């Protein structure tokens, strides 16, 4: 099931202005409407390589070699994150709001997943190896974090036909969510190996259920803002700088949401931590493990911010007289586990109907990445583009620390 979901997410994609940084600017001023299909799907980590992650996604044995290799790469913050954004937009230049000729009307729909995880090094070691090797030590679990959101956006907005700047307001239909955050949390095994002391401090919530795919368990709003600055350099060549703010809004989950809180110290004796973590599936389904660890549970209303995104980038310009152009930029997501994503590279336009780009990047949920893109224009009928921000991740399990694909297309109606 997980394999089918990932294949579907990587295949339903498209748009001239991709969700991913490194967008392309093209002249518009079209008389007829057009539609774009867009997607940007990836997961990335700064610690966990594809060999390790694949075992969790697709099943299989996590061998001692895999565990040990991962343990050798543990850092202060061990992050794993993902964005799956797939949608379509319809642009109508014939409809001029406020009777302004260069303003058009746009409608959009997208299906969105966002996941953000931070696993403290000691928490990884405890889960993978148990506590028997850490007698007399205190294992620090503080600032562990898990967040997942799934929602749909239905947007209506205005766009400028000349600059392709836009602003839109979206209704958010929340499908499912979970968010758990640990504060001052730790575990100590005494030297006699007969008592384990565990302190957990934190909070969290989860929607009442995680099915069906579109569950509609909450509602919210979002504002998206996209502005293109059209500048000129000393040689008179046009330079395009894009400023984008996305997901400025919130979701309000219904009153049947599961709320959790914990601030307690518990003492256990007579078992290894792996015994606690190896309870039967029924116990996990009934969340009995949370009772064992001192969590308090309740039901109630929950408001949650969307993952707000901010990006600023110098874009490739297909209409420029320069065949080789510098591209660079950054992207930030207001998430505790997301480091500012920075990239720089080159945009090459050998013909008016094609272009290629390559870039090096650092940040986000991972480290250094190398990305490539290819773009093609089909006369005046449309556009198609595809690429990845992580070439190594696509071809290697051991050296790759994530996978990502983007595919975009646009058709004139």
**Tens digit of each residue's pLDDT (9 = 90 or more) over 300-309:** 999 999 999 9
pLDDT of residue 16: 36
78 near 118, Cβ under 8 Å?
Answer: yes
For residues 405 and 413, what is the distance between their CA atoms, to the nearest angstrom? 27
Average pLDDT over residues 104-133: 93
SS3 label, residue 122: helix
Whether the per-residue pLDDT at 252 is higher than 90: the answer is yes
Average pLDDT over residues 86-93: 95
pLDDT of residue 22: 64
| Cβ-based neighbours of 147, under 8 Å, separated by 6 or more | 114, 115, 116, 117, 178, 179, 180, 335, 337
pTM for this prediction: 0.89
Whether the per-residue pLDDT at 17 is higher than 80: the answer is no
pLDDT of residue 292: 65
Q: What is the percent of the chain where pLDDT is above 90? A: 69
| Cβ-based neighbours of 410, under 8 Å, separated by 6 or more | 14, 15, 16, 34, 35, 36, 37, 382, 383
Whether the per-residue pLDDT at 12 is higher than 60: the answer is no
Residue 294: pLDDT band with limits 50, 70, 90: confident
Residue 385: pLDDT band with limits 50, 70, 90: very high
Whether the per-residue pLDDT at 152 is higher than 60: the answer is yes
Q: Look-up: residue for tokens 């799934």? A: 150
For residues 143 and 146, what is the distance between their CA atoms, to the nearest angstrom? 10
pLDDT of residue 190: 82
H helix or E strand, kind and range, residue 186 = strand 186-189
Estimate to the nearest angstrom the gap between the alpha carbon of 26 and the chain centroid. 27
**Tens digit of each residue's pLDDT (9 = 90 or more) over 66-77:** 999 999 999 988
Average pLDDT over residues 396-408: 94
pLDDT of residue 305: 97
Whether the per-residue pLDDT at 247 is higher than 80: the answer is yes
Q: Look-up: residue for tokens 């979701």? A: 251
């Amino acid at each position: 099931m997980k394999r089918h979901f990932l294949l579907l997410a990587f295949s339903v994609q498209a748009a001239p202005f991709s969700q991913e940084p490194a967008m392309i600017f093209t002249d518009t001023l079209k008389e007829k409407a057009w539609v774009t299909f867009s997607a940007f799907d990836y997961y990335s980590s700064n610690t966990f390589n594809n060999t390790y992650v694949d075992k969790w996604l697709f099943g299989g044995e996590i061998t001692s070699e895999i565990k040990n290799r991962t343990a050798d790469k543990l850092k202060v913050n061990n992050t794993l994150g993902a964005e799956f954004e797939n949608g379509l937009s319809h642009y109508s230049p014939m409809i001029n709001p406020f009777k302004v000729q260069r303003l058009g009307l746009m409608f959009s729909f997208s299906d969105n997943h966002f996941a953000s995880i931070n696993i403290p090094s000691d928490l990884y070691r405890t889960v993978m190896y148990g506590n028997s090797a850490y007698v007399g030590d205190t294992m620090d679990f503080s600032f562990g974090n898990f967040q997942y959101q799934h929602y749909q956006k239905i947007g209506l907005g205005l766009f400028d036909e000349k600059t392709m700047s836009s602003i839109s307001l979206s209704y958010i239909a929340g499908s499912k969510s979970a968010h758990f955050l640990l504060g001052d949390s730790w575990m100590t095994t005494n030297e006699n190996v007969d008592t384990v002391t565990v302190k957990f401090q934190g909070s969290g919530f989860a929607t009442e259920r995680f099915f069906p795919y579109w569950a509609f368990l909450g509602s919210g709003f979002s504002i998206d803002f996209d502005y293109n600055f059209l500048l000129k350099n000393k040689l008179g060549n046009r330079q395009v700088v894009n400023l984008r703010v996305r997901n400025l809004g919130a979701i309000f989950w219904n009153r049947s949401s599961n709320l959790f809180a914990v601030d307690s110290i518990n003492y256990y004796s007579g078992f290894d931590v792996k015994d606690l973590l190896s309870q039967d599936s029924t116990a996990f389904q009934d969340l009995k493990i949370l009772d064992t660890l001192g969590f308090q549970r309740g039901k109630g209303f929950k408001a949650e911010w969307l993952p707000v995104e901010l990006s600023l980038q110098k874009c490739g310009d297909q209409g420029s007289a320069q065949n080789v152009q510098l591209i660079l930029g950054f992207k930030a997501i207001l998430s505790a586990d997301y480091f500012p994503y920075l990239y720089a590279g080159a945009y090459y336009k050998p013909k008016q109907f094609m272009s290629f780009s390559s870039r090096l990047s650092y940040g986000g949920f991972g480290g250094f990445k190398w990305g490539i893109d290819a773009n093609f224009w089909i006369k005046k009928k449309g556009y198609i583009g595809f690429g990845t921000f992580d070439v190594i991740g696509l071809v290697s399990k051991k050296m790759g620390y994530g996978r990502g694909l983007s595919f975009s297309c646009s058709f004139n109606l």
